[in-house]
Amino acid sequence: MRGRSGEQPPRALLSPERLSRARHVAAAPSWRRTSPPPIGCDAARATAAGAAIGRREGGSRGFPGDGRPGAAMASVHESLYFNPMLTNGVVHANVFGVRDWVTPHKMALLVLLSELGRAGSQLGLLERRRLNRLLLPLLQGPDMALSRLRKAIEECCPHLAGSVHIRLKLMAEGELKDMEQFFDDLSDSFSGTEPEVHKTSVVGLFLRHMILAYNKLSFSQVYKLYTALQQYFQKDEKKDGADENEMELTNPEELDGKMEKEELDGPLREEEIACSGPLSQKQAEYFLSQQASLLKNDETKALAPASLQKELNNLLKFNPDFAEAHYLSYLNSLRVQDVFSSTHSLLHYFDRLILTGAESKSNGDEGYGRSLRYAALNLAALHCRFGHYQQAELALQEAIRIAQESNDHVCLQHCLSWLYILEQKIFDSCVLLEHSVNKSLHFGLPYLASLGIQSLVQQRAFAGKAANKLMDALKDSDLLHWKHSLSELIDISIAQKTAIWRLYGRSTMALQQAQTLLSMNSLEAVNVGVQQNNTESFAVVLCHLAELHAEQGYFAAASEILKHLKERFPPNSQHAQLWMLFDQKIQFERAMNDGRYHIADSLVAGITALNSIEGVYRKAIVLKAQNQMSEAHKLLQKLLIHCQKIKNTEMVIRVLLSMAELYWRSSCHTIALPVLLQALALAREYSLQYLASETVLNLAFSQLILGIPEQALNILHMAIEPVLAHGAVLDKGCAMFLVAKCQVASAASYTPQKKIEALESAILNLNEAKTYFAKVDCKEQLRDVLYFQARLFHTLGRTQERNKCAMLFRQLHQELPAHGVPLINAFK
């Protein structure tokens, strides 16, 4: 990939800029390491880690400010449980030394745990297992309505749900001493030689936190808690009464459907639970880590950008110094490409780290400077993502200066990687990249070293290095991946191999690599129900898979893959542009094959919006098909100059082939030959085997037009095997059609018997070509084949076959535009 000026790599090859996106997150705190790569699809994903310092890199601690902010979110409940201390209008939480406090919802959970202990052996194994799976998200998640909690318990154990409801009702409708007695009885769970709950278990810690928080409440706060419990229960009673009235007025069948839908929506999907009230520190941390994990692993299940930002604003309203919330806000802003909000949140994140002293506590006096240099590094990565290269260079220079003053070699390696990205916008140089890889290995940074190796492989693929050497280099990086369990880089490596094989024209090998990645199990532990592989690597591989199926005429299968891509990567997700481009290209090819040039022309605008180079090339193809030769030539000429400037070799060769076809159609056959020879030299220099084979076929066609069909047949044997082995169905049909034309032209000088044999062989090749064209519904080429076959059958005196071909030709000729059917007009 060559920056953000519209240039795109051929066949969606994973760009260096894309590669670095993974690194940008590796520098985050532990929960933040699961956040999605914030560096976008276009810029800043190369060898650099952006801020990829992290635990993954050996001795480094992770993003500056790995410590949790000491302020608990408990202070926000000023009206209910205790009044927080306020200094200059800023809430200072954790006043009483607890990270949690008692709420009516948590009292309902305490009742559930108490009843679960009472039930003992009365519960079946399956019910107990369901309840145990339910408890963890309930203990960690935000508060929810009692009706929602009851429904969750009923799905696991209906009998226990009734006991919980009765116990809560007795407590809410009783007296304050009933609640006091309930908390006194909770301590009995830890007594005895074999206690019901172990003190160090998840449930035990929760019980102890709640008992401690309750004991620290004053009498007025206890009374407010009791009042809140009554309101919590009464609200549920009122809702039950309203539901009963609605049940009487509603059709039972409709009610069943509604209940089924509610069950499907389910209380266990925490991402749907809005933070209706202030959260404790533990709840806030759980909410943030969960959303960050979903943003990386399955963005479709995370809250929508607007909803997530609303919840984050709610958190920051009560605790503006919550650094992790600012970082998640930064990631959320990147989802919608909001440069202002993302920059604002990123700066606030580092400001809060310094204000809360999280870095200085964990890193001593070094913490302050560490935050500053990584803030500058992340700011450089952010500017690079949005294409602000001058601002990125200034921020990077500042990060380098501070890192040199602090003698931070790890930070300097990441700066070096980002420096390579910025220098790549000006000139292609491997010096910085090779130096970065060597230094990364020296300092024990396998993640950064592996990304550097993959970027080197990609750069050398564009430079035309042999495929076997590139695969050996990727094998070395794979050893690092498996040794350090770098799951994301394993995926990127396989996607890289898929794209390289596609670049070199080996579709069979590309298909094998794509299937390997799709059948792999992730090494990362994720929550049940979360789709792990919603990453860019899988998007690239699935897009290649869809294109491969479309090229072989399996349009239904390609549509299914694209449908899956749309579900996995919705239009507002960060990788949606990949499948959008491939979808438009497949539709364009189908419209061109079917002769519907007006539809193909309407698709050009969408392709141009996603990839300007590809869009201009497709526009020229449409103009050529519509016989607007001069306009097509002007476009191709401009595109050729631009692609030569940015060194997009694959597109240069394709443009040269299209220009040669324009010269044929304009009867300038001698001008086409030097153009084709230039394309062939480039294809062989850069090891683009398939394009080289296609160029040889075009040269054979030129020789056929110039009256030397025997020479054309000789060179056809050199090129036709790769086309038949790895080519698209349309290219196979064109190749077989060209072979038949050359056989017929060569038969003119044969003896009568040999001539008949040559014509019979040509008819067989035409039948094969007809099968290929029918597979992709290419009616214009089918019409030409039928016309040619009818002439051959007439020459051989086979009247019945001739009449059949003539009838089929007439049917197609009436469907398609009537612009003449020359016997030899073009190779494709």
Tens of pLDDT along 306-329?
Answer: 888 888 888 888 778 888 889 899
Asked if residue 732 has pLDDT above 60, the reply is: yes
Read off the tokens for 587: 């539709």
Q: Give the pLDDT of residue 445.
A: 87
Q: Give the pLDDT of residue 604.
A: 94
Buried b (16+ CB within 10 A) or exposed e, 490-516: bbbbbbbbbbbbbbbbbbebbbebbee
Q: Give the pLDDT of residue 285.
A: 81
700-721 pLDDT, tens digit each: 999 898 888 888 898 888 788 8
Between 81-90, 689-698, 788-797, 798-807, the lowest mean confidence (pLDDT) is in: 81-90
CA distance 623 to 600: 10
Asked if residue 87 has pLDDT above 50, the reply is: no
Between 64-68, 288-292, 639-643, the lowest mean confidence (pLDDT) is in: 64-68
- What stretches of 148-213 adopt beta strand conformation (E)? none
- Residue 301, classed as helix, strand or coil, is helix
Residue 41's pLDDT band, with cuts at 50, 70 and 90, is very low
Q: Give the pLDDT of residue 93.
A: 36
Q: Residues 323, 65: contact at Cβ < 8 Å?
A: yes
Query: Taking the CB of residue 173, how many other CB atoms lie within 10 A of it?
Result: 12
Asked if residue 57 has pLDDT above 90, the reply is: no
Query: Taking the CB of residue 153, how many other CB atoms lie within 10 A of it?
Result: 25
- Per cent of the chain over pLDDT 90 is 23
**Summary mean pLDDT of the chain:** 77
Provide the CA 262 distance to its chain's centre, in angstroms.
30
Read off the tokens for 502: 């596609």
CA distance 583 to 588: 9
Nearest C-alpha neighbor of 672 from the set 643, 701, 631: 701
Residue 546's pLDDT band, with cuts at 50, 70 and 90, is very high
Question: Is 92 or 713 the better-scoring residue by pLDDT?
Answer: 713
Query: What would the mean pLDDT of 420-440 be, rounded to a whole number?
Result: 76
Q: Give the pLDDT of residue 683.
A: 92
Asked if residue 424 has pLDDT above 80, the reply is: no
Q: Give the pLDDT of residue 360.
A: 44
Question: Is 656 or 462 the better-scoring residue by pLDDT?
Answer: 656
Asked if residue 34 has pLDDT above 80, the reply is: no
CA distance 72 to 98: 8
Q: What is the 3-state secondary structure (H, E, C) of 724-774?
A: HHHCCHHHHHHHHHHHHHHHHHHHHHCCHHHHHHHHHHHHHHHHHHHHHHH
Query: What would the mean pLDDT of 806-812 be, rounded to a whole number?
Result: 90
Q: Give the pLDDT of residue 287.
A: 84
Radius of gyration of the chain (CA): 34
466-479 pLDDT, tens digit each: 888 888 888 888 88
Query: What would the mean pLDDT of 561-576 be, rounded to a whole number?
Result: 87
Read off the tokens for 611: 């990839």
Query: What would the mean pLDDT of 98-127 be, rounded to a whole number?
Result: 78
CA distance 501 to 24: 28
210-269 pLDDT, tens digit each: 888 888 888 888 888 888 888 888 887 776 655 555 544 444 444 344 333 334 333 334
Between 388-397, 428-437, 589-598, 738-747, the lowest mean confidence (pLDDT) is in: 428-437
Q: Give the pLDDT of residue 294.
A: 83
In whole angstroms, how far apart are CA 108 and each of 113, 114, 206, 217, 232? Answer: 9, 10, 13, 18, 10
DSSP state of 387: T
Asked if residue 163 has pLDDT above 60, the reply is: yes
- Residue 90, classed as helix, strand or coil, is strand
Question: Is 121 or 418 the better-scoring residue by pLDDT?
Answer: 418
577-601 pLDDT, tens digit each: 999 999 999 999 999 988 889 999 9
Asked if residue 120 has pLDDT above 80, the reply is: no
Asked if residue 439 has pLDDT above 50, the reply is: yes
DSSP state of 278: -
Query: Taking the CB of residue 426, how many other CB atoms lie within 10 A of it?
Result: 9
Query: Taking the CB of residue 817, how many other CB atoms lie within 10 A of it?
Result: 11
Residue 522's pLDDT band, with cuts at 50, 70 and 90, is low
Asked if residue 148 has pLDDT above 90, the reply is: no
Q: What DSSP string runs through 440-478?
A: HHHTT-HHHHHHHHHHHHHHHHHTT--HHHHHHHHHHHH
Read off the tokens for 324: 């992790």
Asked if residue 270 has pLDDT above 50, the reply is: no
- Residue 411, classed as helix, strand or coil, is helix
Which ranges of 594-708 would DSSP assign to H, the alpha helix?
597-610, 612-625, 629-646, 649-665, 669-685, 689-705
- Per cent of the chain over pLDDT 70 is 77
CA distance 224 to 594: 74
Question: Is 46 or 683 the better-scoring residue by pLDDT?
Answer: 683
CA distance 740 to 745: 9
355-381 pLDDT, tens digit each: 665 544 444 445 566 778 888 888 988
Q: Name the packing angle between helices 752-775 and 779-796 (round to 10°).
A: 160
CA distance 132 to 112: 11
CA distance 368 to 548: 52
Residue type at position 272: E
Read off the tokens for 281: 């520190």
Asked if residue 675 has pLDDT above 80, the reply is: yes
Asked if residue 672 has pLDDT above 70, the reply is: yes
Between 99-113, 516-530, 668-682, the lowest mean confidence (pLDDT) is in: 516-530
Asked if residue 46 has pLDDT above 50, the reply is: no
Q: Give the pLDDT of residue 145.
A: 82
Residue 551's pLDDT band, with cuts at 50, 70 and 90, is very high
